Each structure stands twice: as structure tokens, then as C-alpha cells.
A = this chain, B = another copy of it.
């Protein structure tokens, strides 16, 4: 039940209406790994970092069952760095700095030990890199999920479209689903995207929850109503990690279990936003996660017998 997670490991500097942090670890693959490690081991990590990436962070990840053999360490470059500032509604943000640094050299080579992994989570990097990882796998994983972003729709649409034919699950946010499909209605967007390759589409709507589409079936998961979204950075990647972590743990890729996986992802994301960066993800226990998942049951359960 091994899982490969591909994506960035980085440093972020984040400003929200609640505060500011100078430099904190981040990156799609880091958030996904912290989330998924609650459910499945090993996590075969594929990423690249610079000489400045803290050894303590690597040790922490290893302790949680994250295999770092596939994480290249560049001795002469700094880690990818992103800096952004969120607005009051937390749905929009300004990017202040993007220093690609090591990302310019990212050309993942899968370690032999990663072959045979059953689940693959392609975090948001260029579609050509995502394709390269899929092609290096001698045996196709049971399930391939991918994230992407509007930037690649603008700059690498052909590669992206090719990649879509190779995956099972696409995770995007609502505006990305609209851009990719050219449809404003998310139901119409989903129908179109499901003809482009993926059999499952997850549309993330932040504080408004997430939608899962498969054929004519739809599932809606709420986000947990929170007093404060302290820092939304990494919430989508954490969601993805919880989602695929649950699937890899249960080895069940039915639509029914994907619904449950989306609740698990939503629960993990609800922790992520409570503190800066991945801070909260490192604090929580399995008991915290179980209690949070039970909150989701109470949140959406209603008695149809009363009608």
C-alpha cells in the first residue's frame, strides 16, 4: 500500500490578516506527506530541495514514515521560496516573491525502490515533470491523482491535456475547473473535464467545501465552519494528502470510499488552516483526527425519516 507523492518542498513567507511568518517550510509535497503519513507508510517522496533546507525537517518527515530517497538535495542552490499575502476573505492572495531556485533543476528520477507503488499523488508541478514520473513507473499504479493550476493551463496546456489522459483523479479549485473547461457552471465544467481523461474530478471550493464528480454521480463535502482561517497556505495539498492517504490505507478505490476519503481530506485541511504553515499538522494525533471526522458526521447528517 505504498504511496508516491511528487511535488515541491519549499520555504514560504506568509502574511495573513492574523499575522506574519518570515520563513516556514512548505510546498505541495510537504503538506501532502504530512497529511498522508497519518494513514499510510511508507510515503515515497519525490522532490528537490536546496542546501538551506533544514535537516530537522527531513528527520521529522522520516520519523513519520516518509522515504526521502527520491528527494534530491542540491548543494549549490537554495530551496524554492514563495512569499504571499492573503486578503481578508482568505480566498484571494497576492504573490510577493517567487524564487524558483532548485526548481529550475527539478528533473525527478525515481529510485528503484519506488517501483511497484500502488498509489501516486502528482502534486502541482509542470505537467511535463508529472508525465515523466508516470512514464518512469514500470507498472501503472492502481490509482493516479493529480493537482495542477491555472499557470499550466496558460503555459503548458498541451502537456496538461496529455497528462489528463493518464490519470484517474484530477483535483482543482473552482476557478481552475472553469478555466480548464471554459464552462461557468461547475456541473457543466465537470462533465466536460470528465471527457478529458480523469474518471473522478474533485473541485475544491475552500471554505465552501469540495465536490466529487464521477459519471453522473455527485458528492458534496462541506468545509468545517471555523472561527478563523488563520493561514490557508497548503490546505489544498493537505486535502489531497488526506484524500489519497485514506485511499492507500483502505486500498479501496470505489466511489463510496472516495466520498469518505474526501471527508478525511477535508478534516485534514481543517487542521492545516488553524496555524501558520504545517505547524498544526505536526501537532495533531490520530485521536484528534478521529474526533474531527466525527464532527463532519454531525455537520452533514440529517434524518430523512422525519420527512
Contact = CB atoms under 8 A, between A and B. Distances in A.
Interface of A: 88-89, 184-188, 205, 208-209, 211, 217-222, 225-229, 246, 250, 252, 256-257, 259-260, 262-264, 290, 293-294, 297-304, 306-307
Contacts of A259: 301-303
Nearest to A249: B307
Given A219-B302, A259-B302, A186 B225 contact: yes
Given A88-B184, A187-B225, A225-B218, A304 B300 contact: no
A110 to B, nearest CB: 30
Q: Would you list the 9 A-B pairs with minimal beta carbon distance, nearest first? A: A220-B222, A208-B208, A259-B302, A260-B306, A300-B300, A187-B227, A187-B225, A260-B302, A220-B299
B220 A307 contact: no
A232 to B, nearest CB: 13
B302 A185 contact: no
B252 A299 contact: no
- State the oligomeric state as a number of copies: 2
Q: Which of A89, A264, A304 has the most CB of B within 10 A?
A: A304
Contact of A226 (B185, B219, B263, B302): B185
Given A188-B227, A263-B302, 5 more contacts: A187-B226, A211-B225, A218-B299, A256-B302, A260-B307
26 contacts: A88-B184, A89-B184, A185-B227, A188-B227, A188-B228, A205-B208, A208-B209, A209-B209, A218-B225, A218-B299, A219-B299, A219-B300, A219-B302, A220-B299, A221-B300, A221-B302, A252-B306, A256-B302, A257-B303, A260-B307, A263-B304, A263-B307, A264-B307, A294-B304, A300-B300, A300-B302
A95 to B, nearest CB: 23
Contact of A260 (B221, B257, B304): B304
A55 to B, nearest CB: 34
Nearest to A188: B227
Nearest to A190: B225
Contacts of A219: 298-300, 302
Contacts of A185: 226-229
Contacts of A88: 184
Nearest to A293: B307
A299 B300 CA distance: 10
A132 B89 CA distance: 38
A211 B223 CA distance: 11
